[in-house]
Amino acid sequence: MLNNIRRINSRRAGPLALAGEKIILSCTASYDVGAVFSCWRPGLLYLTNKKLFFVQVKTVLFQIFLNDIQMIEIEKRSWILGKKINQLHICWHTDRVRHIFIAVRDSQDWKRSIEIIRKQKLAIDIFEEDNKIVIMVEFQTSSNDEIDVKVEGKKATITFKNANGIIQTEDVLLPNEVLSVPLSKKFYNQILTIRLLKK
């Protein structure tokens, strides 16, 4: 991700984040519900490992749980003063189908991050410890023989054999850039703990 996207430690997020929730991305943005006459509302857009939400001052104007998202696309459409820019177009379902347009810098990066998080199938926790990023992953297997971890920039890729013997790959987005070496791995009671040094 680019430098203008601000990372926030979830400990500073206060009541906006649920228990076990980690804020992955945050950036100034504006949104429109796609009515005949556009009405753009400015604020801060947050992406966590569970949801996307939008805050104006101290009020949460909307939140979308990632599991409820049915479609996410990039659309070029009019913004303030008619300028056409790339926007996130998200459709999701709660009691009814809803959709929203979000104007945010680096919209492709946001789309990619949302898609990666939605595809995650492992129970994953990420937190900071001194100068390290710690990733804890719960597996169904009792052996770590088939688990491989590769790190590049702000992404860790975990390759493992699932309970059915099928090789799977899981991408984990990190809040900071890390060094690919040294990489510490410990596997105990079906929990893999990975410690990575921040750059």
Are 85 and 168 contained in the same domain? no
Half-sphere exposure of 115 (CA within 13 A, CB side): 11
Q: DSSP string covering 28-65, please?
A: EEEEE---SS---EEEEEEEESSEEEEEETTEEEEEEE
Are 66 and 112 contained in the same domain? yes
Do the bridges between strand 123-129 and strand 132-138 make them parallel or antiparallel, or are there none, so unpaired?
A: antiparallel
Q: Is residue 5 situated within a structural domain? A: no
87: CB partners within 8 A, 6+ apart: 74, 75, 76, 77, 79, 101, 102, 103, 104, 107
Are 103 and 47 contained in the same domain? yes
Are 128 and 108 contained in the same domain? no
Q: Which backbone phi and psi does 129 adopt, to 5 degrees?
A: -140, 105
Q: Is residue 76 situated within a structural domain? A: yes
At residue 89, the pLDDT reads 95
Are 173 and 113 contained in the same domain? no
- Statement: residue 14 has pLDDT above 90: no
Tens-digit pLDDT profile for residues 38-57? 789 999 999 988 889 999 98
At residue 122, the pLDDT reads 76
Of 131, 125, 151, nearest to 197 by C-alpha is 131
Q: Is residue 3 situated within a structural domain? A: no
Range of the domain at 90: 10-119
- Statement: residue 3 has pLDDT above 50: no
Are 18 and 83 contained in the same domain? yes
Are 112 and 153 contained in the same domain? no
Are 20 and 112 contained in the same domain? yes
pTM as predicted? 0.61
Select the more confidently predicted residue: 21 or 12.
Answer: 21
Tens-digit pLDDT profile for residues 78-125? 888 888 999 999 998 877 788 999 999 999 999 999 988 887 777 788
At residue 142, the pLDDT reads 62
Average pLDDT value over all residues in the chain: 82
Select the more confidently predicted residue: 192 or 140.
Answer: 192
Rounded mean pLDDT of 135-156? 82
36: CB partners within 8 A, 6+ apart: none
From the CB of residue 114, how many other CB atoms can be counted at a distance below 10 Å? 20
Determine whether 20 is exposed, middle or buried from the number of CB atoms within 10 Å of its CB (0-12, 13-18, 19+): exposed
Q: Is residue 14 situated within a structural domain? A: yes
